[in-house]
């Protein structure tokens, strides 16, 4: 089969084609696994973190991609949950140990043996992939393939972030950064918390304009003060400035939830602006978001289908994955980016 393969860690400013279209061995489903013909795969900022070495794959080459929508093409032994032809999704959580204290208390996202799709095992930038049946999800009918893909990471992790803010209807929320996840959180808020006012902080005017179209009451640059204090902020940026400025904008007792797998160290100096009285005093809190659980994905897909939440997507063919990644890197963003995959037949090679 064909796949866009990551072969090395590199700097995207120098190497503008980090992934290579290659012919690789067809994946074969093991016991308890299903084989998927990939239909669509979302492109996530985390892929930049993998490629640029902030969360590098433990082995190379690897096929990235962790927001996968596919059709069941075959099954290994012992598969009862899905049958040939079913449309299913795969998310960032590839597996967890299932036995540790975290796994047994619904916090498999924190498991020391957490394995990530498209980083620790091959993902969906490919014509086919395999996944354990208990880490695959039925995709609701209401979504097209490309609409469903970004729900599996951007949506599910946005949902987890929103839950971690502890927000109640009518409370004021800030979003710093307005990429795939931010826009899905805003759509979710409109239905879940209709009285909540959302303030969006983004560098690019295009992103701010898009946020206002979707219902943000105010938008500004990432270092601006919001017109009123905020009860919670979700930060999806890779930089430290947003952390410091978000803490300043929080009201007493407010909570900042940082939804970023890694921060870049380009503006770490900004942390020196942190002043206890301005940024932390009065019981302000900071919490990071790590990975997702299967329950996050299942609950979010159900909610998104009920509302329904239709993400705004920009579609690229699989072979243009490098262009999609550069567009994220260089902030040419409106909603979520998705690779459309037109898989050929398996050749058995
Ligand atoms: Zn992701
Ligand atoms: Zn575990």
pLDDT in tens, 200-220: 999 999 999 999 999 999 999
Residue 120: per-residue pLDDT: 98
Across the range 101-123, mean pLDDT stands at: 98
3-state secondary structure of 242: helix
Higher confidence at residue 343 or residue 29? 29
Q: Which ligand places an atom closest to the C-alpha of 289? A: 1
Q: How far is the CA of 282 from the centre of ligand 1 (A)?
A: 33
Q: How far is the CA of 235 from the centre of ligand 1 (A)?
A: 15
Q: How far is the CA of 64 from the centre of ligand 1 (A)?
A: 10
3-state secondary structure of 268: helix
Q: Rounded CA gap, 312 and 249, in Å?
A: 28
Across the range 9-26, mean pLDDT stands at: 95
3, 317 in Cβ contact below 8 A? no
- Residue 318 is given by DSSP the state G
Q: Which ligand places an atom closest to the C-alpha of 98? A: 2
Q: Rounded CA gap, 237 and 256, in Å?
A: 13
Q: Quick count: other Cβ atoms within 10 Å of Cβ 180? A: 32
Q: Token pair for residue 150? A: 């970004």
100 exposure class (CB count in 10 Å sphere: 0-12, 13-18, 19+) = middle
Residue 347: per-residue pLDDT: 72
Q: Rounded CA gap, 102 and 156, in Å?
A: 19
Across the range 191-195, mean pLDDT stands at: 96
37-68 residue pLDDT tens: 999 999 999 999 999 999 999 999 999 999 99
Torsion of CA 23, 152, 9, 28, to 10 degrees: -30
Q: Which ligand places an atom closest to the C-alpha of 184? A: 1
124-176 residue pLDDT tens: 999 999 999 999 999 999 999 999 999 999 999 999 999 999 999 999 999 99
Q: How far is the CA of 152 from the centre of ligand 1 (A)?
A: 8
Which pLDDT band holds residue 81 (cuts at 50, 70, 90)? very high
**For residue 308, is the peptide bond before it cis, meaning its omega torsion is within 30 degrees of 0?**
yes
Which pLDDT band holds residue 333 (cuts at 50, 70, 90)? confident
Radius of gyration of the chain (CA): 20
* For residue 276, pLDDT beyond 70: yes
Q: Identify the CA nearest to 15 among candidates 349, 305, 342, 325.
A: 325
* For residue 349, pLDDT beyond 60: no
Residue 348: per-residue pLDDT: 60
Residue 196: per-residue pLDDT: 98
Q: Which backbone phi and psi does 161 adopt, to 5 degrees?
A: -60, -45
Across the range 88-94, mean pLDDT stands at: 98
Percent of the chain residues topping a pLDDT of 90: 95
Question: Across the chain, what does the average pLDDT equal?
Answer: 96
Q: Rounded CA gap, 55 and 142, in Å?
A: 34
Q: Which ligand places an atom closest to the C-alpha of 93? A: 1
Name beta bridge partners: 35.
74, 130
Q: How far is the CA of 123 from the centre of ligand 2 (A)?
A: 21
36, 71 in Cβ contact below 8 A? yes
Helix, strand, coil percentages in the chain from 3-state DSSP, rounded to 5: 30, 25, 45
Stated pTM of the model: 0.95
Residue 265: per-residue pLDDT: 87
Residue 184: per-residue pLDDT: 95
* For residue 89, pLDDT beyond 60: yes
Residue 262: per-residue pLDDT: 92
Q: Which ligand places an atom closest to the C-alpha of 68? A: 1
Q: Which ligand places an atom closest to the C-alpha of 328? A: 1
| Conformation bin of residue 209: beta by default, left when phi > 0, alpha when psi is -120 to 50 | alpha
Across the range 85-103, mean pLDDT stands at: 98
Q: Token pair for residue 7? A: 């072969």
Q: Token pair for residue 277? A: 């009285």
Going by their DSSP bridges, the two strands 19-23 and 2-6 should be labelled as antiparallel
Residue 346: per-residue pLDDT: 83
Q: How far is the CA of 99 from the centre of ligand 1 (A)?
A: 25
Q: How far is the CA of 153 from the centre of ligand 1 (A)?
A: 5
Across the range 301-305, mean pLDDT stands at: 97
Across the range 100-119, mean pLDDT stands at: 98
């Amino acid at each position: 089969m064909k796949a866009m393969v990551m072969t090395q860690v590199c700097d995207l400013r120098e190497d503008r084609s980090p992934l290579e279209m290659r012919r690789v061995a067809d994946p074969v489903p093991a016991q308890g696994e299903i084989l998927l013909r990939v239909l669509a795969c979302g492109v996530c900022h985390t892929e930049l973190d993998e490629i640029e070495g902030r969360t590098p794959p433990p082995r190379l080459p690897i096929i990235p991609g962790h927001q996968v929508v596919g059709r069941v093409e075959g099954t290994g032994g012992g598969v009862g949950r899905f049958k040939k032809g079913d449309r299913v999704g795969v998310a960032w959580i590839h597996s967890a140990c299932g036995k540790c204290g975290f796994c047994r208390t619904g916090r498999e996202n924190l498991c020391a043996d957490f394995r990530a799709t498209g980083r620790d095992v091959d993902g969906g930038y490919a014509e086919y992939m395999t996944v354990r049946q208990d880490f695959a999800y039925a995709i609701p009918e209401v979504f097209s393939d490309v609409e469903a893909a970004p729900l599996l990471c951007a949506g599910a992790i946005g949902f987890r972030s929103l839950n971690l803010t502890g927000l109640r209807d009518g409370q004021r929320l800030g979003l710093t950064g307005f990429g795939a996840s931010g826009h899905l959180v805003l759509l979710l808020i409109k239905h879940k918390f209709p009285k909540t006012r959302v303030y969006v902080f983004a560098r690019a005017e295009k992103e701010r304009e898009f946020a206002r179209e979707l219902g943000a009451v105010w938008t500004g640059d990432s270092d601006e003060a919001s017109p009123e204090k905020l009860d919670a902020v979700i930060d999806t940026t890779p930089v430290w400035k947003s952390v410091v400025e978000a803490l300043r904008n929080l009201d007493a007792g407010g909570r900042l939830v940082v939804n970023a797998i890694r921060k870049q160290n380009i503006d770490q100096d900004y942390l020196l602006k942190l002043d206890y009285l301005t940024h932390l005093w009065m019981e302000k809190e900071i919490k990071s978001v790590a990975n997702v659980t299967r329950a996050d994905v299942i609950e979010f897909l159900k909610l998104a289908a009920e509302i329904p939440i239709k993400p705004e997507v920009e579609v690229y063919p699989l072979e243009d994955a490098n262009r999609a990644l550069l567009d994220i890197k260089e902030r040419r963003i409106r909603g979520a980016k998705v690779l459309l995959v037109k898989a050929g037949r398996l050749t058995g090679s």
